[in-house]
Amino acid sequence: MTQPVRFAFGLHLHQPVGNFDWVFEQHMTQVYRPLLEKLIGGGCAPASLHLSGPLLDWIEGHQASFLDELGRWVSDGRVELLLAGYDEPILATLPREDRLEQVTRMREALRSRFGVDARGLWLTERVWEPHLAGDLHEAGVRYVLVDDRHFLVAGFERAELYRPWRTEDNGRAIDLFPIDEYLRYLIPFRPPAEFAEYLRSLQTGATAPPLAVLADDGEKFGGWPGTFEWVYRDGWLRDFLTTLDGLRETGVVTLVTLSQALEQVPVGGPAYLPSASYREMEGWALPPTAARRLAALEQELGPDRVKGADGALLRGSHWRGFLAKYAEANRMHKKMLALSALSRERGDPPAVRRAIGRAQCNDAYWHGVFGGLYLPHLREAVWRELARAEAELRRGEPLAWHAVDQDYDGADELWVHSANLSVLLSPARGGAIVELTDLSALVNYADTLTRRREPYHEPAGPSASEPANPEAGELPNIHDLARALEELPPVDREERMIFQERVWPPDISPEALATGTVNPLRSWAGVPVTVAPREEEGALVFRFDCGGGDLTKTIRIRTEPVVRIELTLAWQNDPAWPEDAWFTTELSLSKALLIDAPRATEWRYPIDTVAKSESGYDRTRQGESVTLAWPIRTGAARVTLSFPA
């Protein structure tokens, strides 16, 4: 007699640190709570569930009764809770101690709130790197969820993936569950009849009772555009539960938790997986030109081959590519690493560790179909937590500095810090300020975003995926909602910072600057310069020699009685420049600073980006460009910055 397919159904629910309170409220009310109540109460149990730490914290403070209800489901065996890093970090990119701390914090939270000792782990964004196996073993993790793609890129055949596999790192072993990509795209985007057909094909085609694993974002069930109507109003969830009941009654399916599956299904092994994430993520992590080439190759292969064994070997970059692609993400990440190391040196004050943990939340560090890095409030939240940690670590410290290659670009930055200020100067970038954090207000005034050309800005060819057919009861996938823009948004020639010097022709205007299409007569932005530091009474002074003496740039920083940053500029006129040309310094600011610039003409324009999101394309205000200009014949200028009261 044919045995049933074991079906492990898992959900991951998450909202990032810094997200708007109304988003938490909306998703809890319209998505998470009704989804779980209907699923668990409607026959899709037992199931496995992961709630991220930021979401757990919000629920505890706003809808704690839901956690009581969840606790009853856990006690009844209807829900198995999963671990992850508490603050939903990309575990592979954390120091080992931080990685263990994040997982341990989640285990302790689940034990305290629900009385369970969780051993399975939801891997954030399924970002796997081989060294994780040993550290997760040390953290007490027994099994981890990864994509079936992780196995396919290692050369496994799809037929081998309906079971768990064992891997190890230096003898420290964990088990791996392959998440079925086909199920991820069936549920909830296709009619439930296709889900039933697929499971019947697994049952009849297998030589041993197979295990089918689905673990995916809960936001797909009502949080993404069009899904609320589709899942609830149009009856998808009702039909899915009815279909699932029929499959169970006819012996096609039996529901299991992942822990039960591990006990019932023989483990294969050994399996050694390369660094990997899901297919779309690897494409998003590529630089724009390479991403377009990958898309062209996928179109040449066509949907069938992309989904098949050949397509698995066609890959993008791994997740760390975002840190090379976006300097803003890299800067947050490397500041986090620096402060985490400093915290370890200074005894790990609990408040510091908690702030660093929140700053490790993954969402603001990357960008794909979701806003991520492009959402200012998420970046602001990361910088706020980093500032909170640094303020505690530097309590009572005087003004000081040291040279460090903080962003690992091969050139030292100058890290200036005190009890109320943290500044990063970059001699490799024309002596610009790349971070300007008020540790009292917990604000980084340099937290803007460079306007870049993204692959999705360009006209796109046919998609490598098959389009949905609404008449057949199919919901469009989120990755295919937006294809191309009618008009390309402006891009910046150079990375945005504070104090970037240029010479412009006489007819330059704020409108022309905003387009990014006008060439300066001379630019020192991004040009390596030499620096001579010195100390003055109550101040640190950094004198930059820019361009062989044709520009001298001096930044003087003092913190008492208040923070003041003074820029003095002296330049030599080039005979080739028009007599009525303009000398400028540009400040790209996330929030308004107090600026004193005697005799300067001031030009301002908003820094807006156009980015793909789950709802299409979003135009987002990233900050403001303030350009201070003097007639070229002036030969010298002064600017003083101070923080708002």
Q: Which residues are catalytic?
A: 125, 217
> 232 with 475: CB under 8 angstroms?
no
Phi, psi torsion values for 457, nearest 5 degrees: -70, -30
Read off the tokens for 427: 């001699």
Determine which helix (DSSP H) or strand (DSSP E) holds 391, and give its type and residue range. Answer: helix 376-393
Provide the CB-side half-sphere exposure for 430 (13 A, CA).
21
Nearest by Cα to 304 from 150, 465, 467, 477: 465
- Please state, in angstroms and rounded to a whole number, the distance separating the CA atoms of residues 15 and 19: 7
> 411 with 436: CB under 8 angstroms?
no
Angle at 113 between CA 108 and CA 114, to 5 degrees: 100
- Please state, in angstroms and rounded to a whole number, the distance separating the CA atoms of residues 372 and 377: 10
Nearest by Cα to 616 from 363, 374, 370: 370
> 225 with 478: CB under 8 angstroms?
yes
- Please state, in angstroms and rounded to a whole number, the distance separating the CA atoms of residues 625 and 594: 14
> 163 with 265: CB under 8 angstroms?
yes
* Amino acid at residue number 587: L
3-state secondary structure of 223: coil
Question: Three-state SS across 421-480?
Answer: EEEEEEHHHCCEEEEEEECCCCEECCCCCCCCCCHHHCCCCCCCCCCCCHHHCCCCCHHH
> 258 with 177: CB under 8 angstroms?
yes
Between helix 64-75 and helix 33-41 the angle, nearest 10°, is 20
Nearest by Cα to 643 from 443, 386, 401: 443
> 330 with 407: CB under 8 angstroms?
yes
One-character DSSP codes across 190-210: S-HHHHHHHHHHHHHH-SS--
- Please state, in angstroms and rounded to a whole number, the distance separating the CA atoms of residues 2 and 204: 7
Phi, psi torsion values for 92, nearest 5 degrees: -65, -20
